[in-house]
Chain A
Amino acid sequence: MYTVYKISADDRDVVEEFNAKPIGHHSPALQRVLNVIRGQPVRDKYVLICTKPHQEWTLGQLTGERGEPVRIFKNQVFTSVEDAEREIFRRRWELHTGEQN
């Protein structure tokens, strides 16, 4: 889904809310931001690779080409899903706004 909503500095208030709870009930303002960043089409989309089930994850990126291997980034290991969510949120925020949070 491509959303027309543009994330901007006005949305900065939701960053703290996301970092406090990446998965679960969110305010409408945060949900609107998440619809943009989680709705990214499949090319270069981040996914979570379960390297040790329920213990260890790395990030991956889909290529958008059917049958092509997922690009897996083994250099960064997460021991919680929430930490991985925060890292992806940080990257995408920067992509959309040019700002670091």
Chain B
Amino acid sequence: MKITGYADKISARPGETIRFMVNCERPRYRADIVRLVCGDLNPEGPGIREHVVPTPANTSYKGRPQTIESGSYVSIPNSPPLQDLKSFTVQAMLWPTTPDRGPQAIVSKWQDQRRSGFALVIRAGRLALQLGDGKGTVEVVRTNKPLLARQWYFVAASYDAETRRVTLYQEPQTDYPTVSDAARVRKKTQLERLGSNQSALLFGALRTGSGQGRLDQKFNGKIDSPRLANRVLDRSEMERLKSGVPAHLQESVVGAWDFSQDISATTVTDMSPNRLHGETVNMPARGMKGYNWSGQSMDWQQAPEQYGAIHFHDDDVYDAGWEVDFSLAVPAELESGLYAARLRSGSEEDYIPFVVKPAKGKEKKLAFLLPTASYMAYANEHMATNAGLIELLSGRLAPLDKNSLFLNEHREYGGSCYDSHSDGSGVCYSSRLRPVLNMRPKHMSALGGDGSSLWQFNADTHITDWLEAQGYDFDVITDEDLHDEGLALLKPYRVILSGTHPEYHSLQMWDAMKAYQNQGGRLMYMGANGWYWRVAFHPDCPGLMEVRRNEGGIRTWAAEPGEYYHSFTGEYGGLWRNQGRAPQVMLGTGFSAQGFDVSAPYHRLPDSFQTRAAFIFEGIGKDEVIGDFGLIGGGAAGLEIDRADERLGTPPHALVLATSQGGHTDIYLVVCEELLVTTPGLGGTENELVRADMVFYETPGGGAVWSSSSIAWAGSLSHNKYDNNVSRITHNVLERFLDPAPFVR
């Protein structure tokens, strides 16, 4: 892809401005604002439907390449105490995860062009100190013992300007008989003096090259309690510094950084009198177990002193930080809906989707809640290229389009909360301030089932397509809006339609939707595996979300024990189910099984013949098979599917209207949180839990919930020019839900 881009906002109201940042390797490109209706390329379906919206932003622009500098680090601005060092000691607790890789900087105060300053680094798997005199001479002193991955070490280095002597300390915190990874090295250097520079002090990286330099020697692993002193400390003094700055060392200490402070923030605090505070860049992971974690507390808020580590990754990215290329002041008359800036240069194309919300007080009666938190969790996922499992899960070859091929090669675009970092640790933060190339019309995903192969954003355009085809007036709102505005966002609406896979919810989002339900609101759950994971949005950094994959649930990595609390908010992470709020509490059904090959139809159950459900099945035959067609796996029940379960919170009065039980392949398997004892027979042809249950129930205040309980449902809506029983049921429900008459007074 020669053209990619992102926006500063996911949604805006008329009058607000959205800024677009574009990377274009061609001389020029054209941008057009389009209303997105359907993004499915499948010729069996409605086809691509989008309408150009005339705006002043629609014109030709000069292209320029913009790149992403990935890799996280801490930056401490330069200051006299840092710049004036002659002799020094630098120390830290260290948990390297990829010591065998190329050079990695632990602490650097380095100016590369003049070869000036110092850097505590890992070289050839060993601790090393690099010194430069600023006149071109560089000396590197290193230990002769390789560091082990995922083991804590005390590491330190000192340089005595008078004697020119370097001392290195590499002390493992666990002794393994027959393993030799401890080292102490003393060596006299030829260096006449330590070169001074104006560079920032960095933890976790080093800049090389001219000017600002290129972020280089990116460290993978944890750094805890880094310290810097202006003289050579002896070993006992270093030990005293581990836990603070004693009075008698105050004069010697340049900086003593405590990463257990400000865990929710991007600031880093220096406890020394110099107060050399700094900032994290690109969101390294915080709230991470330190070298002194005892296992007695699992919560960083209860024992912050044991959570003084930051985990740095060479592929972390938060804000791509690109220059703005053009802006859109959302016109007052623009209808709420799903839009995109369509970028084209010759055959190159990208879309930057965004939502236009209604002006306050101008809301319609129906809103489509775009599950943008879930898009962020999946943002730029690499499952088809990183994980061999996809072909097994989907029962077919993994299809890769240009976006997936690009993401495979451009790791600087960052991963999703389904990926692991290059060191194997899970990606727990995801940002939308970078091109998110799987949140695009026309994109196909290996998870999207046989047929259209759509997942998440593009699958949700089957819903916007149906709403437009049926002539409904609707607004579009997003998860982030719900998080920020709470119940007030939902209150004007009679009906909220969910997306196909609204999996991720913050506490604010969850509470707002529950309050909406309790006050007469109507929710149509157009998908499955919804309201599953708890997430946290960063309180200060826009467009940034956190997921801790705790305890159980279908997950592609697992949080380390002791790291189950969100660093952004201090809230316990993991499945809502494990916090007493299973999806059944919100939707009547919850995640029960998954498979990604072909889908199945539903069959009516006795509850569907109750008077209370009559409106749903108007025009549907008594024995009619529902949804034995569709663009997603050829059926309406598929990919991820949910079941009713009173034990988990399905209301006792809920009607279980129809089920897909017995129709699924053995690629479909029961979710792991149901497995207390493993037994044979977990597949779709045998296990009763492999099913999508369609459910309806009334809520307090005259409202109601209807749940399709299948991600594939929306893929069947357009079949036979929208004249089919999936479309009819959806229409029947929506019409009644739009009717203000209360269900139960």
Contacts and interface: CB of A to CB of B under 8 A. Distances in A.
A23 B450 contact: yes
Q: Output the residue of A28, A46, A66 with the most chain B CB within 10 A.
A: A66
Nearest to B420: A66
A48 B41 contact: no
A42 B399 CA distance: 14
Nearest to A42: B388
B395 interface: yes
Contact of B43 (A54, A66, A69): A54
B408 A1 contact: no
Contacts of B386: 42, 66
A34 B389 contact: no
A66 B314 CA distance: 13
A67 B409 CA distance: 4
B392 A35 contact: yes
Interface in B358-401: 384-389, 391-392, 395-401
Contacts of A38: 391-392, 395
Interface in A21-58: 22-26, 28, 31, 34-35, 38-42, 45-50, 53-54, 57
A67 B666 CA distance: 33
Contacts of A54: 41-43
A77 B644 CA distance: 45
Given A31-B666, A53-B442, A69-B408, A1 B597 contact: no
Contacts of B597: 23-24
Interface string A63-92: 000111110000000000100110010000
B400 A49 contact: yes
A70 B392 CA distance: 19
Given A38-B391, A39-B388, A24 B397 contact: no
Interface in B337-360: none
A56 to B, nearest CB: 12
A25 B399 contact: no
A28 B665 CA distance: 10
Contacts of A53: 41, 401, 442, 444
B383 to A, nearest CB: 11
Contacts of A67: 408-409, 411
Contact of B444 (A34, A50, A68, A69): A50
A70 B666 contact: no
Interface string B399-431: 111100100110100000000001000000000
Nearest to A34: B395
* Number of chain A interface residues as a range: 35 or more
B391 A24 contact: no
Given A50-B444, A53-B41, A53-B444, A70 B385 contact: yes
B24 interface: no
Contacts of A15: none
B418 to A, nearest CB: 15
Interface string B659-671: 0000001100000
B689 interface: no
B494 to A, nearest CB: 38
Given A38-B392, A53-B444, A54-B43, A88 B665 contact: no
Contacts of A46: 397
B598 interface: yes
Given A47-B399, A50-B401, A24 B665 contact: yes
Contacts of A45: 388, 391
Interface in B638-696: 665-666, 685
Contacts of A81: 396-397, 399, 450
Contact of A70 (B391, B405, B411, B450): B405
Interface of A: 1, 22-26, 28, 31, 34-35, 38-42, 45-50, 53-54, 57, 60, 62, 66-70, 81, 84-85, 88
30 contacts: A23-B395, A24-B597, A24-B598, A24-B665, A25-B685, A34-B395, A35-B392, A39-B391, A40-B391, A45-B391, A47-B385, A47-B398, A48-B398, A50-B401, A50-B402, A50-B444, A53-B41, A53-B442, A53-B444, A54-B43, A62-B385, A66-B386, A66-B422, A68-B409, A69-B408, A69-B409, A70-B385, A70-B405, A70-B408, A84-B397
Interface of B: 41-43, 384-389, 391-392, 395-402, 405, 408-409, 411, 422, 442, 444, 450, 597-598, 665-666, 685
Cβ-closest 5 pairs across A and B: A42-B388, A48-B397, A53-B41, A38-B391, A48-B399
